[in-house]
Structure 1
Amino acid sequence: MKLTIATNVSVDGVMQGLGGPDEDRRGGFERGGWALPLFDDEAESFLGQVYQRADAFLFGRLTYEIFAGSWGTGSWGANHGDNPIGTALNTRPKYVASSTLTDPQWADTTVLSGDVAAAIRELKAKPGGELQVHGSGSLVRWLFDNQLVDEIILLTYPVVVGQGTRLFPATGPDTALDLVEYRATRGGVTIQVYRPSGRPQYATAT
C-alpha cells in the first residue's frame, strides 16, 4: 500500500481546529471552524472519493479520538450508507500510532506502539491501494521525517487563520515535491496532489 496524507490547511498553513469551534483548543486556539464555511460541494465530492480509495486508515491519537467521537458514533454523517466518508471510516481497518492508548472503542482499530516505523513499513508492504492519514499533524511531520510518505493531498482554503498549529514546523527536513494533480473548486478551495521526490535543488552562487 502507498501511504497517502490528506490534509486541509489555510493559506498560512494552519491545520488546527478546522471543523468546529471546540474541536481542538490546544494552546489557547480560539479560531476553530475556519474550514467548514468554505467547504463546498466540489471539495466534499473530492474528499469522498479520496476516502473511498482507502484500504486502511492511520491516525495520531488526538485525530483518532476526534474521528471516533464523531464519525465513529454516527454524529457526523449519521446514515453511513449515504455518506462515503462515514462508510469508509466505519468499514475499513484503522490504525493508531500511540504509546498511551490501550483500549480503543472504535471497531476494527489496532494500536501501533513500540517500533511504529517498522509497523508502518509492514503495512506499506501489504498488497492494496492506500493507507491514508487524515489530520494527525504530529504524525504527519514524523512520517515525513522518516521518509514514509508516498503522496500528499493538500486542500488549501482561501483564509488566513493567523494562529494555530501549522502543518509543517518553522524548522525541519527539506523535501522536494512533484505536482501530479491540481484543481480549484468554485468556492476557492485549491487541491494539490504531490509526491515527494528527494531533497530540493538549491541555487548556487555564480
Structure 2
Amino acid sequence: MGKIVMSGPQNVSLDGVVQDPDGAEGFELGGWFTRFGGADLAEWSEIALAEALRATAWLLGRRSYEFFGTRWQPRSGELADRLNSMPKYVVSASLEEPDWGNTTVLRGDAVTEVTKLKEELDGEIVVPASHRLGRTLIEHDLVDEVRLVVFPVVLGTGERFFGEAFGRKPLRLVESRTIGAGLAFLTYEFVHDA
C-alpha cells in the first residue's frame, strides 16, 4: 500500500499561504519563494532532490502538472532527470493528451481513483504543490503525511494550504529542522484514529 505525502516540499508562508510562490500567477503578493528564501534555496534544492529520489510517483492536479511539466521537461540535471522519468499521475477530467513522459491521467472521481492508486502502488506517492487536490484527499483521510517548508514571511491574504471546508484534522509532529538560516522544515503525520 502506498503512502500519500503532501510535499515536494510544500512551501507555505508563516500564515499558511501557498498562493503564487514564484510570482507567475499575478497574485499581488506572489514571488515570496525567492524573495524570502534567499540563500537558503540551495539547501532547499537538496531536500527537493532527496524527496524526488525516494518518491515512487508524483500525484498532481492538472494545473500543477502543467506548471511542473513546462518547468522541468526542457531541463537536465539530477532533479530534472528524476522528475522527467518518474511515474506521474494526474487527476483531471480535461487533460486529453499528457505531454510529460511517464504520465497517467486519472479520470473520474478523484477520491475513488486515488484510493485505487494508493492500493496499487508501494512507497511514497508525493503530491507537490497541488493544494486543491490535497484538500480533497485530506478531507477524505487519504493523506498520510504533510511536509511543509515554512518561509519567514506573513502575507496576510491569499489562498491557504488548509481551507475552511473540512473540520478538525489532528496531526502529530514527526520531525522538525531548519533549512539554512531562515526556513523551517516540518513533517507531520495525520492521526486517523483520533
State whether structure 2 residue 15 is matched by structure 1 residue 12.
yes
**Residue of structure 2 in register with 1:139 after alignment:** 133
Q: Residues 31 and 161 of structure 1 are in contact (CA less than 8 Å); yes or no, is this contact kept in structure 2? A: yes
Larger helix share, 1 or 2: 2
Q: Which amino acid aligns with 2:160?
A: R
Q: Which runs of 5+ in 1 are unaligned?
A: 201-206
1:162 CA drift (Å): 2.6
- Corresponding position of 2:82: 88
Deviations 1:149-171 (A, max 9, x none): 01110110001123221101134
CA distance, structure 2, for counterparts of residue 158 and residue 193 of structure 1: 17
Partner SS, residue 90 of structure 1: helix
Q: Could you tell which deviates more after superposition, 118-127 or 153-162?
A: 118-127
User: What are the residue-to-residue correspondences of 1:92-131 with 2, within 5 Å?
Assistant: 92-131=86-125
Q: Which moved more, 1:36-45 or 1:173-182?
A: 36-45
Amino acid at match of 1:45: E
Q: Distance in 1 between matches of 2:165 and 2:107?
A: 26
Return the offset for 1:199: 7.0
* Distance in 1 separating the partners of 2:155 and 2:193: 29
Aligned to 2:162: 168
1:120 positional shift: 1.3
Decide whether the 8 Å contact of 1:16 with 1:164 is kept in 2: yes
RMSD: 1.6
Shift of 1:111: 1.0
Residue correspondences, number: 188
| Structure 1 length-normalised TM | 0.85
Q: Displacement of 1:106 after TM fit?
A: 1.0
1:35 to 30, 33, 36: 33
Displacement over 4 Å in runs of 4+: none
Report how far residue 187 of structure 1 moved.
Answer: 2.5
The answer to which of 101-110 and 118-127 deviates more is 118-127
1:79 is aligned to 2:76: yes
Listed as ranges, the gaps of 5+ residues in structure 2 are none
Which structure features the higher share of strand residues?
Answer: 2
Q: What is residue 203 of structure 1 aligned with on the other side?
A: none
Could you tell me the percent identity over the aligned residues? 37
Scaled by the length of structure 2, the TM-score of the pair is: 0.90
SS where residue 69 of structure 1 aligns?
A: helix
Assess if the C-alpha contact under 8 Å between 1:150 and 1:195 holds in 2. Answer: yes
Aligned to 1:180: 174
Q: What is the CA distance between 1:104 and its match in structure 2? A: 1.3
